[in-house]
Amino acid sequence: MALAGVGVDIVEIARMERILERTPRFARRVFTDEERAYCESTARPAAHYACRFAAREATLKALGCGFAPGVRFDDVSVSTDASGRPRVELRGRVAQVAREKGVLSVAVSLSFTREMAVANAVATTAETAPRIAEQRDPRRELAESFREARSVIDELERVTDGK
């Protein structure tokens, strides 16, 4: 049975800020056009870059592969869905690893404070995916109710016969 993988990573925002200042190519090498556009549109770009970098690391940890040979920085990226929630996108070698491990999806959560950015990732497989509740079956519920009632009656009879 495949288990869900969990990963977490934390990045110092000041360190990301220094890297971005000293090595302008870093953002182009590591982040997608969409990620750069998003981060640069915010009041604290370094915090958002740090979150996205942490998300890459957390995702790779959840998948159990890390930055192994063949894994590129852009094999994992973070976009946002229509409601603004972060969403991990897998490509290349990382997408292949996920398929091989039976991973259906990777959920990610991002957060930051003044100093730190953190990301949590959970890789879900068919065995660990939440199940949709079964449809109600009134006949089955009625049969269960009768079984319970019969059990209570049997217990009452046992108690009263023992007097």
CB of 39 closer than 8 Å to CB of 49: yes
In the chain, alpha helices (H): 13-22, 25-30, 33-40, 45-63, 92-100, 138-161
Question: Known binder of ligand: residue 75?
Answer: no
Question: Known binder of ligand: residue 9?
Answer: yes
Residues 6+ apart with CB under 8 A from 29: 73
- Binding-site residues for Mg(2+) sit at 9, 57
Q: Which residues are documented as binding site?
A: 9, 57
